[in-house]
């Protein structure tokens, strides 16, 4: 039985939502912020800043119902300057919203691959409506959160490929890692460089390291290569030219050459091919 590795690797998406709401609060000073994830076509509110009552906690918003339901349906931001008198939305959730004292509110979807995955809300209780700057801060946070979810989804996809490749390798009793595993290893390292979350980046690199060293007996106690040198060598191992490796890693070809020369020197290799072979012998590459 094979457990799915991303259950351990992927952090709770709710933590990312909470962090983004805190950043919005620090940047904008919006007094009330909340949001939630879409589960089974409904939005479940789970993260809150500045609320005074428990009415919104755990609220499940249906499509087309209320401001959030409108955002769920259209996939577009929406807002009202005076919630109580707003005619552009239904008032299914008046009790928790009005009990909280909310008057002006904006809702912004977090859209990934055309689907609404989360919704962020910013709200105020006073007579002055939220300004354009506050709305822009929430919208920017939505885009950043969507980018983070795209990366996490890509990691999950790569891990599923890895899981399938490992099962195939075990079934066929092959001693050499298939090319697909090498591709996943290189992609995990590439994606890790784009992840702003330090813990997630560390886990990605650890997963890549386990691919390179399937057996602890073959693990090198100290990696002689710097992270970027190993990133470049992983791409070279796939047959990439310096230009191709540079495009994949967002590096200039000259920078790729520099990392490659340094890796070859540390590994005592005279050619790119020898460097890859040496790295595999030391358990640095699959």
pLDDT tops 80 at residue 118: yes
Residue range 124-165, pLDDT digits in tens: 998 888 988 888 999 999 999 999 898 888 887 777 766 665
CA atoms within 13 A on the CB side of 213: 17
Distance CA 90, CA 98 (A): 14
Distant-in-sequence, close-in-space partners of 59: CB < 8 Å, separation ≥ 6: 44, 45, 93, 96
117-127 burial, b for 16+ CB within 10 Å, e for fewer?
bbbbbbbbeee
Q: Averaged over 205-217, what is the pLDDT?
A: 68
Residue 227: closest CA among 248, 246, 208, 211: 208
Long-range contacts: 251-257, Cβ < 8 Å, 24+? 256/232
Q: How far is CA 286 from the centre of its chain?
A: 25
pLDDT tops 80 at residue 41: yes
Q: Is pLDDT larger for residue 41 or for residue 222?
A: 41
Handedness of CA 167, 170, 171, 173 (dihedral sign): positive
Q: Place 57 in a pLDDT band, splitting at 50, 70 and 90.
A: very high
pLDDT tops 90 at residue 61: yes
44 exposed, middle or buried (CB, 10 Å; 0-12, 13-18, 19+)?
Answer: middle
pTM: 0.63
> For the chain, what is the mean pLDDT?
85
pLDDT at 163: 63
pLDDT at 207: 79
Q: Place 115 in a pLDDT band, splitting at 50, 70 and 90.
A: very high
Cα distances from 179 to residues 2, 182, 230, 286, in angstroms, run 21, 5, 17, 9
pLDDT at 162: 65
Residue range 221-243, pLDDT digits in tens: 466 888 899 999 999 988 888 99
Correct CATH for 176-281 of 1.10.274.10, 3.40.50.620, 1.10.10.10, 3.40.50.10490: 1.10.10.10
Handedness of CA 1, 162, 145, 92 (dihedral sign): negative
Domain boundaries, the chain: 6-130, 176-281
The crossing angle, in degrees rounded to 10, of helices 227-237 and 272-281 is 110
Q: Averaged over 102-123, what is the pLDDT?
A: 95
* First-to-last C-alpha distance (Å) of the chain: 23
Residue 231: closest CA among 187, 178, 180: 187
pLDDT at 216: 40
Distance CA 134, CA 43 (A): 22
- Domain 6-130 classification at class level: alpha beta
Distance CA 282, CA 285 (A): 8
Q: Is pLDDT larger for residue 28 or for residue 215?
A: 28
């Amino acid at each position: 039985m094979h457990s799915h590795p991303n259950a351990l690797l992927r952090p709770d998406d709710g933590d990312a939502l909470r962090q983004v709401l805190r950043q919005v609060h620090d940047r904008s000073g919006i007094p009330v912020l909340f949001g939630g994830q879409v589960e089974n076509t409904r939005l479940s509110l789970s993260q809150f800043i500045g609320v005074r009552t428990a009415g919104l906690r755990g609220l499940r918003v249906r499509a087309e119902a209320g401001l959030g339901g409108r955002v769920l349906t259209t996939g577009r931001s929406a807002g009202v300057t005076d919630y109580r008198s707003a005619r552009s939305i239904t008032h299914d959730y008046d009790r928790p919203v009005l009990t909280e004292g909310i008057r002006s509110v904006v809702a912004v979807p977090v859209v990934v691959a055309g689907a609404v995955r989360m919704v962020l809300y910013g709200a105020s209780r006073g007579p002055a409506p939220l300004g354009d700057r506050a709305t822009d801060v929430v919208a920017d946070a939505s885009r950043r959160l969507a980018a983070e979810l795209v990366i996490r989804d890509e990691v999950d996809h790569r891990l599923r490929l890895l899981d399938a490749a490992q099962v195939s390798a075990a079934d066929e009793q092959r001693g050499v890692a298939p090319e697909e595993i090498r591709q996943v290893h290189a992609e995990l390292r590439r994606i890790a460089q784009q992840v702003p979350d330090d813990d997630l980046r560390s886990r990605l690199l650890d997963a890549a390291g386990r691919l390179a060293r399937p057996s602890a007996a073959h693990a090198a106690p100290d990696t002689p290569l710097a992270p970027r040198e190993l990133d470049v060598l992983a791409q070279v191992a796939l047959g990439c030219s310096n230009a191709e490796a540079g495009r994949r890693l967002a590096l200039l070809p000259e920078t790729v050459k520099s990392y490659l020369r340094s890796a070859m020197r540390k590994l005592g290799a005279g050619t790119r091919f020898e460097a890859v072979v040496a790295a595999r012998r030391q358990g640095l590459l699959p």
